[in-house]
Each structure stands twice: as C-alpha cells, then as structure tokens.
Chain A
Amino acid sequence: MNAVLSPESLVLIAVIVPFAGALVIPLFDKIPNVREAVTLVTAGCLCLAVFSLLAPVLDGARPRADVIRVAPGLDLAFEVEPLGMLFALVASTLWIVNSIYSIGYMRANAEPRQTVFYVCFAVALGSTIGLAFAKNLFTLFLLYEVLTISTYPLVTHRQDQEAIRAGRIYLLLLLGTSLVLFLPAIIATWVLAGTLDFTPGGILAGKAGAPLIAALLALYVFGIGKAALMPLHFWLPAAMVAPTPVSALLHAVAVVKAGVFTVAKVVVYVFGLDTLTKTGANDWLIFVASASLLTASFIALSRDNLKARLAYSTVSQLAYVVLGAALATTSGIIGSGLQIAIHAAAKITLFFCAGAIYTAHHLTEVSQMTGIGRKMPVTMLAFLIASLSIIGIPPLGGWSKWVLALGALDAGHTIVVGVMMLSSLLSAGYLLPIVARGFFSQPPGARVADKQVIEEAPAACLVALSCTAILCIVLFFVAGRIQTLLTGL
C-alpha cells in the first residue's frame, strides 16, 4: 500500500485522474446523474491526491515522476515544488466547488452539449495540474497548449456568431503567442543553457548578457498570453461569452492562473531572481505590469456588463502577480503566490454570483441590477465579501497586497506601492457600487412598503458560492501557512 501511494505515484495519479475522468464521462452521455457523479468523484479523488502531497512537500521533499524521454532535452517529467503545489491546491479545491455550481447552472439554463462540456472541463483541469507539477519547460509547454485547446470548445460552447468570433480570438491569441514567442524563447533557452529543467537559482545565470536576458524575458512574458498582460489581454473579455462556470473556474482560476503561474515559475526557476536583479533585465517589466494594472482597473470602471467588468478586474489582478514576479525579490514571489490563491477564491465567488444573478433573473448589466440584493441576499452578501477581498481590505484579501508592497519596498520601487494603493481604490470604485445598488436602491417599479420576494438561484449554485465566500475568509487565516509553504521555494 505504501509503495502504491508513495508521493511519486501520487504525482502521477493526480495528473492522470482528470484525464481518466474525461474518458469515463462520455460513457454516461445518456444518464446525466451518473455523468455528474463521475465528475464529482474525479474532482474529489484529484483533490485528495493533491492534498496528500502537501505534507511531503512541506517537509522539503520534491516528489518527482519521469514519464518518457521524447528527445534529448525534451522530457515528459513532473516534480512538485511549493509554487506548483499551491497552484494545484487552489485549482483542485475549486474544481469540486465549481462542479457543484456547474451542475446547478447548466441544468437550470438547460444548456445543450453538456457531456462535451464536462469532458473538456476534466481535460482542462488535468492539464492545469500537469502544468503545475511540470518539471521542465517542455512538459509545461505541452500542457499549456493542451489547456488552450481543451478550453476552446468551452469558450465556443454556445456556437453562435459571437461565440465563434470569441473562439477565434481565443485560439489565435493564445496558441499564436505561444507558438511565435513562447516556443522560440524555449528553444533559445535550450540552446543557451543546454537544459530545460526548472532549477532553483535559474539555468540562465551567466549564460547570456543583460540585453539578451531582457529580450528573453519579454518573449516569455508576452509569449505566455494566458497571463493576460496588456496589450495581449483582449482574449479574456472576449472569452466571457462562455457559460459562467467556465468563466469562473477557467478564466478566473485555471487558465489565467496557469499563465501567471508560468511567468512566476520562469522567473524563479529559469532566470533566477539573482540573475534578473543583477542584470536589471526585469526593470521594464515592473513598469509594464504597473501600467497594465492601472489601465485595466480604469477600463473595468467603464464597463456596464458585469462579466466584462469582472474580466477587466481579472486582468488588473493578474498584473499584481506578474508585478510580484517582476520585482524579483523573495517577498515579491511569495506575494505573487498568495495573490494567486486569494484572488482565485475571490474572483470565482464573484463569477458565481454573476452566474447566479443571470440564472435567477437573466440580468447581465450592472445598470439592471438595482435592488437585486433584496431578492438575492445570500448571493449579494457573498459578492460583498469577495469584493472586499479583491480590494484588499485587511480582514480579507489584504495579505497578498501587503506582502507585495513589502517586496516592492525591498526592491526599492516605492512608486509601485503608490500604484497598488491607487488600484485598490479603483477596484473599490468598480465593485462596491454594484453592492450598494443591489442593497440600497429600490428595485424598479417597487414601492417602499412592498415586501421583497426572495428569488435566489438553484441550491447547487447557492451552496457553491457560499463555500467560496467562506473560503475567502478562511484564506486570510491560513495565509501564514501558505507563506511557510512558499518560503521553501
């Protein structure tokens, strides 16, 4: 028993389970209840496997599994390190919640092609976990592309003109940037360093001059289109045509987080923090990330469509992670990791709420949501909690921003702290009015004396969004532990 469930085999199990689930789901195409049960069981097994890896990793072990050598320099291999561990924990936990929500949402809206939906979802999660555990750039790149391809059918789920157009942008931008920028960067890394393995301290130290390092960093950062750094962000708002569970898990958690996670991983394990700070190759990225952070917040202010507003908010919040990586200090990276976890919980809650509002009342625009809090108190309360977490108010999500600010001060970039404060202010500006409008305004056509009828979304949706809202609060209390995990970096 011990041999079967050694950390090494757990790594493989974690990667394989979702793919196996994807194979089983279509067998129950005609029996929705069993099909959904398979999804839930798969998600549960995955979560169990990932959590059992936590203890060994905290002890400093780095469980690894080599699968196959494709060609010299190209190995399919996995190794769990703290950053990947954290990402896998976040993704696998939220998949369970999201599956529950999906069942409620997809059934309530009578969506077509649900089997394809669940299959693609499982494949996407499998590639996310594989990406998190990748031991080298090749494995990561492989799963990065699988993730793009498996989410394409989800983005184009509705199959109308708008969805097809969004799918086109999605595929062209994500696959395109990865083929044109990311791949050459990987090849160049291989030629320069002679290896693609993620190594603490980086593999490019002393292998290239400052201009080349800066150029490579640019290729990586923009080649990883999933990180949605401006100006390569516009696939994300376009992808919002997908059903809400897709927006919630993939475009707030798995896909975009895979992007920023890859950026962080490349900065830490390919370039090495010292190499970057010594050559100063990271300076430009700090400014680009800050600009992205502020611009996206401004755009979010101006969007009336709730999902579009949340999408731009995501672009802005992702820039925090890139910023943390760009600072190239230990606290910057830890801040990035925290931000990945905290933002994931908060943003998935917000999307769940948006989906719940759509399912219950078919509202999509913020301006239509006057008085919605009186009809859907639980949903809007969750929305409030998640909003506060995004803004970074201390009892909630402030932790990651605090650490990031410390990282900025460490690196001597005082101005970055200012940028972050301004951005927090802006995020309060685009999130809180929704809550205020929901709770304090009268619904159109209602009189003051009327008692509001409570019309919430289906129970499955409600349970899911309450869970994630609670998770936002819980994360504040376990942030210290996450920090401990990440200091093992």
Chain B
Amino acid sequence: MNAVWPQLPALLVVIPLIAAALVALSRHGELAFALTLVVSWVLPVIAGAMLWQVLQTGPISYHIGGWEPPWGIEYRVDALNGFILVLVSSIGAVIVPAAWRSISFEITEGRLAWFYCMYLLCLAGLLGIAITGDAFNAFVFLEISSLASYVLIALGYDRRALLAAYQYLIMGTIGATFYVIGVGLLYLLTGSLNMVDIAARLGPAAPAQMPAIVAALAFLTVGISLKLALFPLHAWLPNAYAYAPSWITVFLSATATKVAIYLLIRYYFSVFGIAIDFAALPITEIVIVLSVAAMFIASLVAVFETNIKRMLAYSSVAQIGYITLGIGLANQAGLTGGLVHVVNHALMKAALFLGVCAIVYRACPVQLENLAGIGRKMPLAMAAFTIAGFGLIGTPGTAGFISKWYLAAGAFDKGWWPLVAVIVACSLIALVYVGRLLEVVWLREPSPGVAHATEPPASMLLPLIVLAAATIYFGFDTEWTVGVGSTAAKALLGGLR
C-alpha cells in the first residue's frame, strides 16, 4: 500500500487509459463492460483517497517521470480539483451499472466494445483535465475527452446524432484552438506551461504586458466557454444531448461541462488571479450578464420544448448559468454557491437523464406527449425523477436549494438585489417546465406507447434511486459539498487578492 500511495495521481489517469486499450483489443462486448465496471468502481476510491489526503496535509504535487516542475508535467491536486475528481469518478461509478442494458439496447452489438473503449478514453481525458497542473497537458486531455465524446455522440441510434456530433466537433475544435492560442500567448509571456509557475512569473502584471495578458485571457475564456456551453456558445449542446445514446447523455451532462467549468475557474482565479485586477476588467460583468441571459433564455426555451431530452438539455444550459454566475460574483458565498451547484447539478441532472434513459429503454418515446401516464407504469423510477425535478426548481429539502441559497446570499453580499430577483425568477420558470413534465407523467391517462412499460431493471433503477436520494441527502447534510466548496472558494479567492 505504501508503494501505491504516492502513485495515486498517475494511476487515476493511467488505469482508464490502459483499460481503454485492453477493451479495444478484446473486441468483446461483455468483457469490455466488465472491465469498465471494475475500473469505474476503482477510480472513486483513488480520487477519494487523494481528496482525503489533501484535506489532511495540503495539496499533492506529483511529477510525471520524475521531472521536476516547471520542466516536467506536474499533476497537482488541491481541494478544488480533488472535489471535481471525486465528483466525476463517483458519477461514473454510480451510473455505470445502467450502461449495459441501455447501451446494448441502443447500439448494435458489434460496436459495444468500441463504445466502452471510447467511454474509458473520455473518462480518462476528463480526469486528466482536472488533475493536471500543466496548461498544455490540459489541452491534450481536453482533446482526448472531446474526440472520444464526438464518437460517443455519433453512436446514437437516431441519424441526427451524426449531425449533432459533427456540430459539436466543429465547435469543440474551435474551442480547443482558442484554448491553445491562449496557452501559446501565456507561454510567450512567461516561458512556462506549468500553471503555478505561470501565475508566479506573471506576478502583478506590468502595464506593458497587459494587452498580451488580456488577449490570452480572452482566448482562454472563449475557448473554455465553448466547452462548458456558456450562453451564447451553447449551440452544440442541445442536439448533442438529445441524439447521443441516452446513457452517454447522463454521463456527459453530469461530468463534461463540469470539468470545463473547473478549468475556467482554475484559469481565472489561480493562473490570472495575481496578474490581473478583475475589478478593473469588465470580465466579471460579462460573465454575470451572460449567466443571467443563460438562466433566463435557456429556461424559457426549455418551457416550450417538446422533446424531453432537449428540454433537459436547455435546462442544463440554464443551470450552467447559475454556476458561472457564482464565478462572476467572485465572493465567498457566491463562489461557494457556484462550486456547490457543480456537484448538485451533476447529481440532479444525472438522475433526470437516467430517468429518460429508463423511459427510452422501456417505452421509447422522447416526445413529451408520448410520455403521458408513464408515472403509473413505472412509479418508483418516476418518483426518483420527480425528486430530481424538484431539485432543479430549488425547493428546500433538495440539494438545489442549497446552491441557490448561497448564490442569492452572494448577490446580497454585493448589494445586488435585482440579481436575487433574477435567481428566484428563474426558479419560477424551472417550476413551469418541471411542472409541465410532471403533469404529463403523472396525471394523464397512459398513452398507447407506454401501455406495456414496467419499472426499469434494477441496474437502472438503483442508480436512479441513489442519485435521487443524494439530491435529498445533500439538501440536508452539506458538510461535504459546502464544506469542501467553501474551502476551495477561500483558497481561490485568496489567490485572487
């Protein structure tokens, strides 16, 4: 154990990478799933052990190949990315049992092994982005995860999945290009690619350097915002979520955008934090305006959407707005709220999309009117779905309430009363689209399409119930979410000023 302990950061990325290669070699669907299952259950243990260690003794720094930073690649785990690593790996572990039935149902048998290979690559990429302390290495992992997710989306049974994947590919590539240009500018300025080193070398920026720094910031912001689907750069998301295999939507909605959000936070607060006086730049205002626009417009679009996958996808765009709002507020309560919502939204949206997954598996329709009365056919699954829906609205007793409480408190601390009104108004819109969904699910007479639906198999039902229970649990016990979130926020803001 003592020999393994220091190698944990590398193992977290290496295990899924090697497993991906093995899965590709095996070309055997069941074997591939078994390996994926084992890997997915090992990873949260590693991530959890690292987070525990970070909270006990402070950040972990791991030097790949023994090369000292800033020359070699450094993996760096602190409270913030430890938190993200645990989130991503745990979501993977919880939902992976549902994959077998759902994916075998939606994908032709010959492609199963390739599917799990791509999933493991995507997972490795996401974990890599979160763990690395090297700006260019993050780009590499960003590409690994993105390329894998283009393939995963294209595997959807609907032919429109190809178009959605293509759309995402174009947008994602533009985003990655912007990102790498930003990193290049930083490299020109500092001669370093290590994030901590860049921050130290930038120091309090000299006026002559300002234009270059601002340009780098702008490129990075746009590049990462494309990946995290910040309004109005979200255009790829609804189609990608709607036409990807249902189970992949569960995974991507809960993890991919969250990791991109992490990267944005990392650049804003850790890399640029010392160099730039954020208050002097209009960047926080821009982020807040875009966040508010996302919350309002995407929520309104969700109200009028009739395809439930697209409805939930637009809801994701809106909920991402809540998170970026916390970043824009850039004070203790606001940033805590944003970080907590990263977890809470991941849980709730995973539950909701898993509910959709179950519906598709048992009944097939994704159009709202086809869903009529499905609550009577699969009451347990739909009860869990309903709980997650109330979480989205932010009713007290669910995790969503906690995030909104902190965000609103952050807005109050800044004296921005109208922003509080915006936050609650968006909850109201969420009430309308969730209410509309619940009304169809529970109160209509069952439609012919769902007449033969029954509860989903246990491998789907249990993860769904776990996620719904977590939505309630984290609405009461916030020691973990708010505790780690506020520690991370404090550290980030400490870097800021």
**Contacts from A to B (Cβ < 8 Å):** 68, 70-71, 74, 76, 138, 141-142, 145-146, 149, 153, 156, 159, 163-164, 167-168, 171-172, 175-176, 179-180, 183-184, 187-188, 190-191
Contacts and interface: CB of A to CB of B under 8 A. Distances in A.
A159 B412 contact: no
Interface in B413-433: 413, 420-421, 424-425, 427-428, 431-432
Interface string B84-117: 0000000000000000000000000000000000
B395 interface: yes
A175 B421 CA distance: 15
B435 interface: yes
B420 A184 contact: yes
A167 B409 contact: no
Given A70-B478, A76-B476, A191-B412, A183 B424 contact: yes
A179 B428 contact: yes
Majority SS of interface residues in chain B? helix
A179 B427 contact: yes
B396 A164 contact: no
A163 B439 CA distance: 11
19 contacts: A68-B476, A68-B477, A70-B475, A71-B482, A141-B396, A142-B396, A145-B395, A149-B390, A153-B442, A163-B443, A167-B439, A172-B431, A172-B432, A175-B395, A176-B428, A179-B395, A183-B427, A184-B420, A187-B412
A168 B405 contact: no
A381 B412 CA distance: 57
A138 B409 CA distance: 14
B427 A70 contact: no
Given A71-B482, A183-B408, 19 more contacts: A70-B402, A70-B476, A71-B478, A76-B476, A138-B396, A145-B395, A163-B443, A164-B443, A167-B443, A172-B431, A175-B431, A179-B427, A180-B421, A180-B427, A184-B424, A187-B408, A188-B412, A190-B409, A191-B413
A86 B52 CA distance: 49
B338 interface: no
A171 B435 contact: yes
A76 B472 CA distance: 14
Contacts of B412: 187-188, 191
A297 B70 CA distance: 79
Rank and list the top 9 A-B pairs by shortest CB-CB distance, nearest first.
Answer: A142-B396, A191-B412, A179-B427, A180-B424, A145-B395, A187-B408, A71-B478, A159-B443, A142-B397
Contacts of B431: 171-172, 175-176, 179
Contacts of B351: none
A138 B476 CA distance: 12
Given A145-B395, A179-B393, A187-B420, A74 B428 contact: no
A105 B478 CA distance: 44
A81 to B, nearest CB: 22
B326 interface: no
Interface string B455-482: 0000000000000000000011110001
A159 B432 CA distance: 19
B319 to A, nearest CB: 16
B394 interface: yes
Interface string B384-399: 0000001001111100
Interface in B370-408: 390, 393-397, 402, 405-406, 408
B409 A179 contact: no
Given A171-B431, A176-B431, A184 B397 contact: no
A187 B439 contact: no
A187 B425 contact: no
A142 B406 CA distance: 16
B358 to A, nearest CB: 21
Given A171-B435, A172-B432, A71 B405 contact: yes
A439 to B, nearest CB: 41
B176 to A, nearest CB: 38
A71 B402 contact: yes
A65 to B, nearest CB: 15
A167 B443 CA distance: 10
A303 to B, nearest CB: 27
Interface string B335-376: 000000000000000000000000000000000000000000
A142 B395 CA distance: 8
Contacts of B442: 153
A190 B397 CA distance: 18
A418 B477 CA distance: 52
A262 to B, nearest CB: 14
Which has the most chain B C-beta neighbours within 10 Å: A74, A172, A179, A188? A179
Nearest to A72: B482
B66 to A, nearest CB: 43
A187 B435 contact: no
B439 A168 contact: yes
B440 to A, nearest CB: 10
A447 to B, nearest CB: 47
B478 to A, nearest CB: 5
B393 A175 contact: yes
Contact of A156 (B425, B443, B475, B476): B443
A145 B397 contact: yes
Contacts of B390: 149
A326 B215 CA distance: 59
Nearest to A159: B443
Contacts of B402: 70-71
Contacts of A163: 443
B421 A184 contact: yes
A164 B443 CA distance: 7
Given A145-B396, A149-B390, A179-B394, A187 B432 contact: no
Nearest to A146: B397
A191 B405 contact: no
Given A68-B477, A168-B435, A187-B412, A74 B405 contact: yes
